[in-house]
Structure 1
Amino acid sequence: MRIYKLMARADWEAFRAVGTFEGSADDRRDGFIHFSTEEQTPETARRHFADVADLVALEVETDRLGAALKWEPSRGGALFPHLYGVLDVRDVVEVADIPKPSLNTGASGS
């Protein structure tokens, strides 16, 4: 199964250069690295990354994370993947751009 870590492209570039990721400020505060399933990713992007212009999703195979990956209830009781450890760049199998949602709702403004 694959899970996703959302972050700004600049953070991905820094992670890639260093080779390991210990988490964002929010991750470190919570004590684990937050991930989302494919189904959870759009809502995670909307709630937590709406102000990030250059957003990417790091795709990670769960089998690579071992026992450090825990599934825990979060938003609405849904189980979310949380990594209690450091993410290695070799665990990232793909990186995809996340398009910024359009702010145009179709209504004419001004």
Structure 2
Amino acid sequence: MVIYKIFRRPEWDSLRQSGQTLGAPIDLSDGYIHFSTTEQVVATAAKHFADESDLVLVAVDPDKLGAALVWEPARDGALFPHLYAALPISAVVWDTSLPLGAAGHIFPRDMI
């Protein structure tokens, strides 16, 4: 199992340079890093990144995040993974561009 984080390109570049991140502005404001499951990530992209095109989809191994990863109810009562610590680059399994097409973001075929 992996969980997903959608980054704007400069946020992803910063994580790659520094080796860790406390997340995007919304993560900093909320006090934790927001993640989504496979079932949640398409809706997350549509809700929070609808008009943004230079995005990066990052798959993260939740087992590498330890006890700082907490599953909490969020949108529609569904449990979402929230990280109450910095995200280390070592937890990233893979990343890919998340382009914006005419009908929304274009996710890798093998994940949806």
**TM-score, structure 1 normalization:** 0.89
Residue of structure 1 equivalent to 2:53: 53
After superposition, give the CA deviation of every residue in 1:28-65 in whole Å (9 maximum; x if it has no partner): 11110000001100000000011221111110011000
Give, in whole Å, the separation in 2 of the partners of 1:27 and 1:51.
Answer: 19
Aligned pairs for 1:21-100 within 5 A: 21-100=21-100
How far off its partner does 1:24 sit?
A: 1.0
Unpaired runs of 5+ residues, structure 1, are 105-110
**Percentage identity across paired residues of the two chains:** 49
How far off its partner does 1:103 sit?
A: 5.1
Unpaired runs of 5+ residues, structure 2, are 105-112
Secondary structure of the residue that 1:96 maps to in structure 2? Answer: strand
- Structure label with greater radius of gyration: 1
**More moved, 21-30 vs 77-86:** 21-30
